[in-house]
Every structure is written in structure tokens, then in C-alpha cells.
Amino acid sequence: MTRGSIRVDSFNFGDLPALALLIGILQPPVVAFLKQDHWKKWINTAIAVVFSIVAGIVAVAIKGDLDVSNVFGTILVVYVAASAAYAGFWNPTGVDAKIKTATSYKGKSSPAVGK
């Protein structure tokens, strides 16, 4: 299909970027389960970055497009989408903080303690 001199169907978003975007948007509440209130901010940030890297690699592996440019591009899309979703939705609504506080082990005894 063409509009003027631009082919509209040449702009194909594709499955891999869409998957990476979806993973990134849903990543903050999942990562919140791993983060802890009593840890330093850089540790919690590192957890989110590592999760983005792993999620990007897994997404590329699932789609079967394993090459360096796909891996780095997908990791970048996951991380940027996660950062935007966190700043624009998950953090302002308090969902992230509630999950992190509810799953934090500070002051709670571990189920393995005393057994």
C-alpha cells in the first residue's frame, strides 16, 4: 500500500521489538519481587538492569534471531520500555513500592530459621 511516495507496509514493527516492548512494560512489578527495601538503591537498580539483559536475551532466543545486533537492540528496547513504564505508571501508582515492601525480608524471619 502506498500513500504518496511512501510505502506504508515497509514500516514493519515486527514480532521481536513488540515482544521486547511487552516484556519491558511488564518487567517493573516482576523485578519488584526481587528488590528489597533495605538494600542500597544501586543494588536494586542493578537487579533491574540484569533482569533487562536476561529478558532481552531470552526474547531473542525465543524468536530464534540470535545475532549480536538483535540481542543488543532487544536489550535496549526492554530496558527503555521498563524504565518508561516504571517512571510513568508503576512507580506513581505505588504498585512497585507495595510489592517491594510486601516481599522485603527486613525484619521478617525466614521460614528456614528455627527449623
Q: Do the Cβ atoms of 84 and 27 come closer than 8 Å? A: no
> Would 115 be classed as within a structural domain?
no
Q: What's the pLDDT at 106?
A: 66
pLDDT surpassing 80 at residue 110: no
pTM of the predicted structure, to 2 decimals: 0.75
> Would 30 be classed as within a structural domain?
yes
> Would 114 be classed as within a structural domain?
no
Q: How many domains does the chain have?
A: 1
> Would 109 be classed as within a structural domain?
no
Q: What mean pLDDT, rounded, does the chain reach? A: 83
Q: What's the pLDDT at 107?
A: 55
Q: State pLDDT tens for residues 54-80.
A: 999 999 988 887 888 889 999 999 999
Beta-carbon count within 10 A of 71 CB: 17
Boundaries of domain holding 18? 13-101
Q: State pLDDT tens for residues 22-45.
A: 999 999 999 999 998 888 999 999
